[in-house]
Amino acid sequence: MFEEYFVDVILPLPLKGTFTYKLEEEEFNALTIGCRIAVPFGSKKIYTGLVYHLHQNKPELYKAKPIQQILDSAPIVTEKQIRLWEWISDYYMCSIGDVFRQALPSALKVNSETFIKRNDHPVDEKLTKEEGYILEILAKKSSVSVEELASTLDNRYILKIIKQLLDKNLIVIDEKLKQKYVPKIENYVRFNEDLKNNKEAFSEAFLKLDRAPKQKEIVMRLLTLEAENKPIKASKIIKLTNTSHGILNSLVKKNILNIYQLQTDRTYTEEQELQPIFSLSDAQEKAYQEIHQSFKENDISLLYGVTGSGKTEIYIQLIQDTLAEGKQVLFLLPEIAISTQLIYRLKQFFGNDVGYYHSKFNNQEQVELWLKTFHNQYKILIGARSALFLPIENLGLIIVDEEHEGSFKQNQPNPRYNARDTALVWAKIHQAKTLLGSATPSLESYYNSKNGKYGFVELKQRYGNVLMPEIQIIDLQKAYKKKEIQGHFSDILLNEIRDNLEQKKQIIIFQNRRGYAPVVECQTCGHTPHCPNCDVSLTYHKVSHLLKCHYCGHTQAQPKFCPSCHGFNLDTKGLGTEQIEQELSLLFPNHKIGRMDADTTKGKHGFEKIIHAFEAREIDILVGTQMVAKGLDFDNIGLVGILKADTLLNYPDFRAHERAFQLMTQVAGRAGRKKDRGKVLIQSFNPEHNILQQISIYNYKEMAKEVLYERRQFVYPPFNRMIILTLKHKDQVKLDVASNLLAQHLQKSFGEQLLGPETPPIARIKNLYHKRILIKLINPKKIVSAKKYIEQILENFKTIKAYRSIQIIVDVDPY
């Protein structure tokens, strides 16, 4: 009997399951799991697929098509990764194709819809005829889709040719939508080559410098540094010689030195001298030993260490221990852009063993990091949640820092995964340990450590025994009644700001809303401008005189008069960072006020610039949104002010209290970290609020106990699991009917565990109406079968023709 060969392929599509194609015998023998192949799909499309399973079972229901092409001779995805993807797709109820699409850099998964363009790399290799043809097309057109190329060229080979061009670094993927990542450039110095090679001219120039001793010093120093054969930063030599840019520039003008530029924050940085590891304080040492101890019994441990307790140094020790065992470390943090301080610290100790993954890297850099990781060239990988998808082979330890952070959850698109939870599975696949670290642990992790599922280690004091900042709550109602308030600042807060400014201490003011004011309102008729696409009022941005929608990005000019009654009485309500910045600059005209929010950190290195300015004390008062809460480590902050705690406490979400506690404690933790004790002032209309009282005495455990008690009473996580189905459509009536029907079907099985369909707080976003169905799963043993059941109902529902146009989003653990 004659043999037939098949391959099951993962395609980057939101469709269930894998897809079977036919192979020739030689192809079958050449392929292994994790290799890429080009396959046709639908009538015209071509995709990069990933080999999932090789077999000889002929599909019974359809005729398998042949593949187009093998793209890899060796795998680029590991079997361990595929196991992780399977778990994600099962648990988060999405297709494995969704995970594949998320996991791989775009340059590794080219398909018909991909656009490519020429880069500025010169052609210095021989090209095949087809390669040359594509480059010719790209010389005339700046960007072209693979689909278009396929229809002009012989379509069977297109992905292979594109891969060759990518490998030769002659083209790049064109990601128009993606903000371009512009690498940081630094100035370096070297001698003018011509001068240096001409001994006489050189010594003549050198002699002339006798009258400029500072310049001479730079030259001398450069001569010694040159011997080390490493690039020399301009800033470094200025610092070493205690000179200035001006002095260096005179040497450049005299044509003795040249300035040249290098990129500093690519995946590779220049060799630097490694720092010895700090020795731990007694308290740190104790916690460190306890972690080791707890890892003997548990795979997962929670390190609960107050802000400024020096968790990072403990991580560094643990990383070293893991490396000593010959294993790798994955370090996950909430956001890479705001972690420059931490990356810098790790790089100081581990140098180029550290790789870090940044979603803003261009696709070449992403591919470079991916392949280097695959080939075991890093010992430590750092990144935000997407670093979970790197092909690490030999993990010994995963550290999830600030594990309570909401940004570990991907809200859109699929897979809607939580990186902290997924990290535990990734560690299990490697039989590695996981350390979760936080000063304000999520209640899930805390609960798991209390009931013995995780180990628990506590670090109660700050490094250097600095006292935790003193927290005082200010009664806003009283302040308004007694007129002890200017703008949004109570007199108590203003006095404290003045004191700190006098002592040359820096100040952070926290307000969790950007823009100037969230609402514009006509005082005559009450009209409020709304977004035309979403059911939300527009936020006023005073600096730009614009009204902006924070949901869809819609922007319009601030009207001069009310569009409804034509009156001129437009006023603003609510409070954003822009307004506070303005108030402060009026109150303290002689001090520098800075602002850190999504608007000011957009640019290339927006975030770093503000941090550097603050560090260099060029900013006295920094106003910011929750960005200022995240792990910044400065040593001169005397005061932290929270302008209005109430908005955080009254947020309509079962997590509001937990989050409010975490956020305010973290912001407070920025104060007085090194030497002197800091102070925190929290303004509120409700100063007796339980949560505020608990924050003021750092009583995390009491907060946790109370909130967990409530959660148990009302059956919220961690005492249940939740799944939210969101239905979206532009026709409100159709959406109503459809969501009622779907809820009815689900109700049969879930009864009272099903809530809705309800209209979410924002009923329409980007012109689509929203409806939500919430399912609470109480019995942990039935979660798997419940998910299967929901999937089945959704499959059936999608076959109803009238409702096919309705988008349904499934979100597991939607928080």
Q: Which residues bind Zn ion (CB under 5 A)?
A: 531, 533-534, 549, 551-552, 554
The correct pick among 278, 651, 685, 789 for binding ligand ADP (CB under 6 A) is 278
Question: Which of 116-150 are b and which e, b meaning 16 or more Cβ less than 10 Å from the residue's Cβ?
Answer: bebeeeeeeeebeebbeebeebbeeeeebebbebb
- Say which entry of Zn ion, ligand ADP, none residue 414 contacts (CB below 5 to 8 A, set by partner kind): none
Partner in contact with 533, chosen from ligand ADP, Zn ion, none, beta carbon below 5 to 8 Å by kind? Zn ion
Q: Closest separation between CB of residue 767 and Zn ion, Å?
A: 9
* DSSP letter string, 218-267: HHHHHHHHHTT-S-EEHHHHHHHHT--HHHHHHHHHTTSEEEEEEE-SSS
Q: Which range of residues in 62-70, 118-126, 274-282, 407-415 is near ligand ADP by CB under 6 A?
A: 274-282
Q: How far is the CB of 535 from Zn ion (least distance, A)?
A: 9
Comparing CB distances to Zn ion, the nearer of 387 and 768 is 768
**804: helix, strand or coil:** coil
Contact between residue 22 and residue 67 where contact means Cβ atoms under 8 Å apart = yes
Alpha-carbon gap, residue 49 to 102, rounded angstroms: 14
The contact mask relative to ligand ADP for 670-709 (x = CB under 6 A, - = no) is ---x------------------------------------
Interatomic CA distance for residues 419 and 421, integer angstroms = 5
Nearest-approach distance from CB 346 to ligand ADP, in angstroms: 11
- When the beta carbons of 438 and 601 are compared against ligand ADP, the nearer one is 438
Q: Is 113 helix (H, G, I), strand (E, B) or coil?
A: coil
Q: Taking the complex as a whole, how short is the minimal distance between the CB of residue 614 and ligand ADP, in angstroms? A: 15
Q: Which amino acid is at 152?
A: T
* Contact assessment for residue 687 and residue 743, using Cβ atoms and an 8 Å cutoff: no
CB 73 within 8 Å of CB 104: no
Among 165, 173, 209, 280, binds ligand ADP (CB under 6 A): 280
Q: How far is the CB of 334 from ligand ADP (least distance, A)?
A: 13
CB of residue 675 vs ligand ADP: minimum separation in angstroms? 11
The one of ligand ADP, Zn ion, none whose footprint includes residue 552, by CB under 5 to 8 A per kind, is Zn ion
Pick between residue 132 and residue 532 the one whose CB is nearest to Zn ion.
532
Q: Distances in Å between the alpha carbon of 25 and those of 48, 68, 70?
A: 21, 14, 13
Toward ligand ADP, which CB reaches closer, 467 or 598? 467
695 or 765: whose CB is closer to Zn ion? 765
- Burial label for 522, CB within 10 Å (0-12, 13-18, 19+), is buried
Contact with ligand ADP (CB under 6 A) among 34, 40, 49, 310: 310
Asked whether position 301 contacts ligand ADP by CB under 6 A, the answer is: no
Partner whose binding site includes residue 551, from Zn ion, ligand ADP, none (CB under 5 to 8 Å by kind): Zn ion
Residue 531 near which of ligand ADP, Zn ion, none (CB within 5-8 Å, type-dependent): Zn ion
Q: What is the closest distance, in whole angstroms, from the C-beta atom of residue 574 to Zn ion in the complex?
A: 17
Q: Where are the alpha helices (DSSP H) in 355-442?
A: 363-374, 419-430
102, 243, 307, 506: which one binds ligand ADP (CB under 6 A): 307
Which listed option, ligand ADP, Zn ion, none, makes contact with residue 756 (CB within 5 to 8 Å by class)?
A: none
Which sign does the torsion angle of CA 27, 31, 35, 41 carry? positive
Residue facing ligand ADP at closest CB distance:
310
385 binds, among Zn ion, ligand ADP, none (CB under 5 to 8 A by kind): none
Query: How many CB atoms are located within 10 Å of the residue 28 CB?
Result: 17
Q: Among 98, 313, 403, 521, which residue interacts with ligand ADP (rule: CB under 6 A)? A: 313
Among 463, 540, 661, 698, binds ligand ADP (CB under 6 A): 463
Nearer to Zn ion, 694 or 726 (CB): 726
Kindly tell me which of 580 and 668 has the beta carbon lying closer to ligand ADP: 668
Residue 188: strand pairing partners: 233, 260
> Taking CB within 5 to 8 Å according to partner kind, which of Zn ion, ligand ADP, none is near residue 684?
none
User: Are 115 and 37 a contacting pair, CB within 8 Å?
Assistant: no
Q: How far is the CB of 611 from ligand ADP (least distance, A)?
A: 14
Closer residue to ligand ADP (CB): 191 or 634: 634
Output the smallest distance, CB 308 to ligand ADP, in A. Answer: 5
Q: Which stretch binds ligand ADP (CB under 6 A): 74-82, 304-312, 385-393, 507-515?
A: 304-312
Closest contact distance (angstroms) between CB of 278 and ligand ADP is 4
Between residue 596 and residue 635, which ones bind ligand ADP under the rule CB under 6 A? 633
In angstroms, the Cα distances linking 61 to 20, 55, 57, 58, 64 are 11, 16, 12, 9, 9
Cβ neighbours of residue 760 closer than 8 Å, sequence gap 6 or more: 726, 770, 771, 772
Give which of Zn ion, ligand ADP, none residue 572 binds (C-beta under 5 to 8 Å, depending on kind): none
The whole-angstrom separation of Cα 406 and Cα 425 is 19
Using CB under 6 A as the binding rule, whether residue 312 contacts ligand ADP is answered as: yes
Mapped onto helix, strand or coil, the DSSP state of residue 721 is strand
Q: Rule CB under 6 A: is residue 666 a binding residue for ligand ADP?
A: no
Structure tokens that stand for 352 in this block: 């180029």
The one-character DSSP state at 599 is T
Give the H or E element holding residue 593.
Answer: strand 593-596
Q: Report the distance separating Cα 673 and Cα 671, nearest Å.
A: 6
How many angstroms separate the CA atoms of 624 and 627, rounded? Answer: 7
- The interface partner of residue 441, options being ligand ADP, Zn ion, none and the CB cut-off 5 to 8 Å by kind, is none
**Measuring CA to CA, which residue among 791, 774, 772, 769 is closest to residue 726?**
772
Distance of closest approach, residue 286 Cβ to ligand ADP, in angstroms = 12
Q: How many CB atoms lie within 10 A of CB 306?
A: 20
Q: How far apart are CA 607 and CA 595, in angstroms?
A: 10
Choosing among ligand ADP, Zn ion, none, which partner's interface includes residue 328 (Cβ < 5 to 8 Å by kind)?
none
Q: Could you list the residues that contact ligand ADP (CB under 6 A)?
A: 278, 280-281, 284, 305, 307-313, 463, 633, 673
